[in-house]
A and B are shown apart, each in its own frame.
Chain A
Amino acid sequence: MTGAEGAAEPAVRTRGLTKRFRSGQVGVDGIDLLVPRGAAYGFLGPNGSGKTTTIRMLLGLVAPTAGTVELLGAPMPARGRSVLPRVGALVEGPAFHPYLHGRANLERLDAADATADPGTRAARVAAALDRVGLAAAADKRYRQYSLGMKQRLGLAATLLRPRDLLLLDEPTNGLDPQGTREVRALVRELAAAGTTVLVSSHLLSEIEQVCSHVGIMSRGRLLAQGAPEEIADAATTQVRVAVRPDQRDHLARVLAGLGLADVRSDGDALVAPLGDVAVEKIAQAVVGDGIDLLGLEVRRPTLEDVFVRLTGEGFDVAR
């Protein structure tokens, strides 16, 4: 399914991609996005951080002020005609004709695709509807769909044919927890089958479990990208040691002796950045010094922690 042409190229690569709006506001500020083939890439950032504008530029809907875009190894928008059929996209929510049925809406999109075979249209539309659980609502007008059903129809449109790359902008918007789980499963399934998937979200808890790579946007800039474990570096991993209150001071001396700095108390325990110290060394030292160890926990930073550290703000912070 993956075209031989440029198969080794990254699925998405931008260089210095910038969008300055007519108002003078800089929506996207010189980002170098790199999505390897086969990755499940979580594109994270608060609302208004430039994710959607970036995706619009990737697809050629919006012309960059500066910088270049390559999709599947081909420059955009110059090669859009040959590349975009291999790309499925959900941009800023689903959009269909309200007075047409779900099925008719998908047929309309398929009829617009010069590279889709009209002979298999009915079967492919039915399969896509089935895959997102809309088979029963296929002949209802789009206007009557719930927000979740609309989102599913948008996903179905990206699945009308096999794709090498999916760009999904906030695919879980409006979905109930069950629907969110299904989208996650779908992303996982597609990525496992070799499709590169870029999922943007302002709710990282929804997608961090399925992503092999993440990119973090804030105020138009790409602050970090890579595998989650690369981003969440060891320096911020915390160790939490719980002991009886009367042994707290003793423990503090032991931890200091191990070379742990910035020790602070947290409830009935002491917490310190782990740094290069091995966890098992801490356990041995504490027990060996006669302290009754009640609990020992290593806390890896969540992406949210990383995000807060990078931007000084949490998610859901609009500009």
Chain B
Amino acid sequence: MSLAEAGTVAPPARRGVATARLLRSELRLVFGRVRNIVLLAGLAAVPVLVGIVLFVTQDSPVAGQGPPFPDRVTGNGLFLVFAALVSCLPFLLPLCVAIVSGDAVAGEAAAGTLRYLLVVPVPRTRLLLVKAGAVLAFAVAAVAAIAVTGLVVGAVLFGVGDVTLLSGDTVPLAEGILRTLGVVGYVVLSLTGLVAVGLFLSTLTEVPVAAMASTVVVAIVSGVLDALPQLSAVHPWLLTHHWLDLGEFLRLQVDVPTVLGGLAVQGAWVAVFGALAWSRFTTADVSS
């Protein structure tokens, strides 16, 4: 068969269709990569470890120490989800998001595949949006890996039942699950600012490790600054300051303004670093 027979030149697909097609290919790339699957497996192992440790020690003198909500975990396996998420939030989750987002553009530049995507051609704005979408999908998968494993392991080891909230009130299991979904969503959205920072740093370099490391540094520095009381004036604007507001979902009356405030700060980080990434990526010379 000659190329001419097989090679039909279709009219350009509509923008949405073309973007969706590229996104599907990008998702296959992200979730087909062994490294990323290992990261997800590592995150999923956290609730397993925490669960086993709490299960083994629940009747010993050290019971009640360790990760947040430990005494609640042994009472209701659902709390293993929260315990695992809270233990992963300061470092493991930002690390995984930093690896994938830092790699997004810089990895393609380092491999040289970026220039070939651009001459296909893929418009640079579309490519950046697709990259952001795929990293976000990975962030969802990362949080979901912890939550789902936490739920399963918690249910197996400790059983699940009506949920006693932090406020002391008890709600049915179904509502407890609904609130868990709220926590998962809040954690995912809390990571969007970091995704934007990682993407921006990824457009600055052709060395993926540099972008990954700088993104982790941003998250850590934010945590350090958040711990300095002298800087309390800037605390509300820090990338990581509102991350642990996920506890709001475990009060009878969810404090909506607090939750929205945390999300608004993430929105601001996304807007600023998304714009920086866009302006850098759409004008930079691709000479790798």
Binding site for B on A (CB under 8 A): 1, 53, 56, 59-63, 80-81, 84-85, 87, 89, 91-100, 107-109, 111-118, 120, 123-124, 127-128, 131, 157, 159-162
Contact = CB atoms under 8 A, between A and B. Distances in A.
A89 B119 CA distance: 7
A111 B8 contact: no
Contacts of A95: 111-113, 115-116
Interface string B5-16: 011111111010
A124 B13 contact: no
A98 B285 contact: no
B8 A117 contact: yes
Contacts of A109: 116-117, 120
B10 A117 contact: yes
A115 B122 CA distance: 10
A1 B1 CA distance: 17
Contacts of A112: 21-22, 25, 117, 120, 122
A80 B282 CA distance: 14
B119 A84 contact: yes
18 contacts: A53-B287, A60-B121, A61-B286, A84-B121, A89-B119, A92-B112, A94-B112, A95-B116, A98-B111, A100-B29, A100-B32, A108-B29, A112-B22, A115-B10, A115-B12, A120-B8, A131-B3, A160-B7
A56 B287 contact: yes
Interface residues of B, number: 39
B18 interface: yes
Q: Which 4 A-B pairs have the closest CB atoms?
A: A95-B112, A114-B18, A117-B10, A84-B121
B4 interface: yes
A200 B283 CA distance: 26
B34 interface: yes
Nearest to B283: A63
A96 B111 contact: yes
A97 B4 CA distance: 27
A127 B7 CA distance: 9
Contacts of A53: 287
